[in-house]
A and B are shown apart, each in its own frame.
Chain A
Amino acid sequence: MPTETTIPIDADTVLWCSGLTKDFTDIWGRPTVRSLEDFSMSVQRGEIFGLLGPNGAGKTTTIKLILGLIFPTAGQVRVLGADPRDVESKQRIGYLPEESYLHRFLNAEETLDLYGRLFDLPKEVRVERSAKLIERVGLKHARKRPLKEYSKGMVRRVGLATCLINDPELILLDEPTSGMDPILSREIKDLILDLRAQGKTVLLSSHLLGDVEDLCDRVVMLYRGRKQLEGKVSDLLEVGEVTEVSVKNLSDTAAQAIRAEALKHGGEVVDTHRRRERLETLFMRVVERERSKN
């Protein structure tokens, strides 16, 4: 039964669900597992919204309910103002499943052409957009090879391209960087940020905390099918009582003096250290350096 009836719906609400519950049943219709329980959320236009949770939390179930691949036991969903089973609204949605389930006998160009036809794109638009997307995902050299000869990462790139072939308003990405190498992960993250810059709305489902932290404006966290928390990433991660100060070119003596001053003002020095860069940043820097050499 829906409990959160105060979820606002306005013109900028791209995705809305209220009291969403999903029970999977056996062949006799008896419920076997409750995958989602009384889940409500709304996603605003132009934001990157994160669905966070461990494996089995109900993230993929939520996405499938949004797309109409499965149907809710209770609750309501509205996607771009329409029911998930509405065919017309799918014209403006892009979806990247957690595994790219594509026709393996087609090559990248043919796959994009097929999905472009399903979106009824004119031929010129299909051809131009396919070429741009293939180049964007770095598959120009392999566009004529059948997908069965692709690596997992390459298939994923094709999946990403098909997700964007219709220039969608709302993009649903289910574990987009799962199983990807750091380079591809970075590229996908940059692409997602680029999509937001274009004014598109992204719903991102992931159990990789770093990705969610890097990308999302707001997140909701699921655990065992129930919502645990929701809010802006910046607000959720802020540790209110700790202030971080970053200073360059500071000698050890000056650092000691700053510690003493903090103690004098009643502060408790938790930690002082030289800043560490992220491993991803280091990795990318090394790769770029090697690339520039070649």
Chain B
Amino acid sequence: MLTFLAAMTPGTQPEETWPAITLVWVCIGTLLAILVWPRGRGRRLARQIFAVAVLAFREGLRLKVLWTVALMALLLGGLAFFTDADGTHAGRAFVILNYCLSSGEVLGAMLVVLLSALSVAREIESRVMHTFGTKPIPRWGILLGKALGFWSIEILFILGLAGFTALLVRAVPMRPEARSSGMTRTGTWKDLRRNALTTRQFNVSDAEAGATARMKLIKAGSSQTWFFTTTPEMSKGEDVSVRLLLSSTVTFASHIENLGIKIGFENEPLLIDVVKKVPQDRPFELYIPVEQMNRNGRLAVTLIPSAKGKTAPSVAGSVKMGIAADGLYANLLKSVLLIALQGWILAIITTSWSGILSFPVTVALGLILVLGGEMSRQVLDILQAGTQRATTISMDSADVSVPKQVADQLRFMLQLLPDFRVAGGPTAFVEGEFVSMWVLAKAVLMMGLVRGIGWAIPGIVLFQHREVGR
């Protein structure tokens, strides 16, 4: 069925884009159902649900909890702005992004849980539901409308927070930089934007994949070259980065001394020719201006570990070419989408269950949903960090993707509760992780539609059969 649906959508490969295709068809199907429902009942129901959503939105705006949460988020962001972090502008920007988005994620979740739990439970206890519930709207319509209304408030909150975060990050270069990084400059806005805030896709051509994806051992004094095929369109108008991840036999050193790096096109003068100290076990990037990359050619990256000294270390390194994918604003937008996705899951679940549970129990349920997802993420991050360390010093070239697969399996197993981190989470881009739209579509489909509505259905069904008039 999915293959058939994919075939109906031109220009797509089902095995790559099935979540996005499915999501599109789900949206189309829903719209058609609303439009063609007999006697216009679908459209009438949509209008009624919208009326309830507007009511919930207005109700939520009046509650002090919203403004308290907003103030807390602003204070945290403001505090983050005035920290020095590691002294570099990049470090400051990352702190601001981490603090603001993480607090927005948690505070937004709390906001949705409190609003959702409070509203329905309070209306039943105060008997407003006696008036509300005798109107020609099904009970599930009331719940859906309220969930949409409270979710809208959360979206408003995180959009505001994202805008505030962007302003703070934009203002970072206005402060003097206490210390600049030896490898990448982030002092000016232009440097900060390119060198720290732009997420890159580290795709390589199929022909080079085998060569560049793996770590290669380079003995002291010898050299190793990686090749990348370039085309004029690949840079997408931005400078291209060359990301290096190096490790040496001096295991506990933080840097590798006197590493020679030569980058240039075959049979042409070198674009980069340096010998310098580089970080060990931490990726770092060098940048090639876009005007030098807009060409067909074969770019060569050569690493030459120093032979100085009796025990000059051997170096293991991998090189990837990074194409600019998302800038700051695109990344913030994706973060907003991910946080909003979590908010939707929480809104629909807590609203539906608040129809049958009391307010305190519903709040407790919401907290479990929020913290349960967070706890599973913490565990997975710890496990993944350990396996990544093993990978960087391993010379086994058979399959470096095994640790990631193990982590993914563990993540799947531990996701007992709704966890939207299938897309890496709202702060993934801070670590340089690119989130494609297809991954977002998968998150929306699997987490939002399937898991969110799936968890809410029992609450909705039970509310249909609850006596609200007692």
Contacts and interface: CB of A to CB of B under 8 A. Distances in A.
A287 to B, nearest CB: 31
Nearest to A64: B469
Contacts of B48: 117-118, 120
A220 B172 CA distance: 78
Nearest to B44: A120
Given A69-B469, A70-B469, A90-B136, 14 more contacts: A67-B134, A87-B136, A93-B134, A97-B131, A101-B128, A101-B131, A102-B128, A102-B131, A103-B55, A115-B135, A118-B51, A118-B137, A119-B135, A159-B131
A99 interface: yes
A103 B127 contact: no
Nearest to A97: B130
A203 to B, nearest CB: 13
Interface of A: 24, 64, 67-71, 87-91, 93, 95, 97, 99-103, 105-106, 114-115, 117-120, 159, 162
Contacts of B129: 101
Contacts of B127: 97, 99, 101
Given A90-B136, A105-B59, A95 B131 contact: yes
Contacts of B469: 64, 67, 69-70
Place the interface of chain B in its size category: 20 to 34
Contacts of A90: 134-136
A4 B441 CA distance: 60
A69 B135 contact: no
A203 B136 CA distance: 19
Given A69-B469, A70-B469, A105-B62, A118 B128 contact: no
B236 interface: no
Contact of A101 (B52, B59, B130, B136): B130
Residue of A87, A102, A105 with most chain B CB atoms under a 10 A cut-off: A87
A114 B134 contact: no
B47 interface: yes
A117 B128 contact: no
Contacts, number: 69
Sort A-B residue pairs by CB-CB distance and give the 3 closest, nearest first.
A69-B469, A117-B51, A90-B136
A85 to B, nearest CB: 9
B389 interface: no
A156 B292 CA distance: 77
B44 to A, nearest CB: 5
Interface string B455-470: 0000000000001111
Nearest to B52: A118
Contacts of A88: 136
A69 B55 contact: no
Interface string B141-157: 00000000000000000
B282 interface: no
A212 B134 CA distance: 25
Contact of B467 (A71, A101, A106, A162): A71
B405 interface: no
Contacts of A106: 58
Contact of A105 (B47, B52, B58, B136): B58
B138 A87 contact: yes
Contacts of A70: 467, 469-470
Interface in B84-135: 126-135
Nearest to A103: B128
A162 B126 CA distance: 18
Contacts of B52: 118
Nearest to A105: B62
7 contacts: A69-B130, A87-B136, A102-B128, A102-B131, A103-B59, A115-B135, A120-B44
Contacts of A103: 55, 59, 128
A114 B126 CA distance: 18
A69 B467 contact: yes
A119 B136 contact: yes
Most buried by A among B134, B137, B138: B134
Nearest to B126: A101
A114 B51 CA distance: 7
A115 B131 CA distance: 9
A140 B252 CA distance: 81
A120 to B, nearest CB: 5
B55 A91 contact: no
Contacts of B136: 87-91, 118-120
Given A99-B127, A105-B62, A114 B137 contact: no
Contacts of A159: 131
Contacts of A100: 131
Contacts of B128: 101-103
B131 A87 contact: no
Contacts of B51: 114, 117-118
Nearest to A165: B135
Interface string B37-74: 00000001001100110010011001000000000000
Contacts of B135: 90, 115, 118-119
Nearest to A85: B464
B197 to A, nearest CB: 42
A120 B43 CA distance: 10
A24 B131 contact: no
A70 B55 CA distance: 25
A115 B55 CA distance: 11
Nearest to B465: A71
A31 to B, nearest CB: 14
A97 B131 CA distance: 7
A5 B209 CA distance: 83
Contacts of A87: 136-138
Of A67, A71, A88, A114, the most chain B CB neighbours within 10 A belong to A114
Interface string B312-331: 00000000000000000000
A48 B138 CA distance: 29
Interface string B335-361: 000000000000000000000000000
A67 B48 CA distance: 19
Contacts of A71: 467
B55 A114 contact: yes
Contacts of A64: 130, 469
Contacts of B59: 103, 105
Contacts of A89: 136
A162 B131 contact: yes
A64 B133 CA distance: 11
Interface in B212-264: none
Contacts of B58: 105-106
A68 B59 CA distance: 26
Interface centre among A103, A118, A159, by most B CB within 10 Å? A118
A95 B133 CA distance: 11
Nearest to A118: B135
A95 B136 CA distance: 12
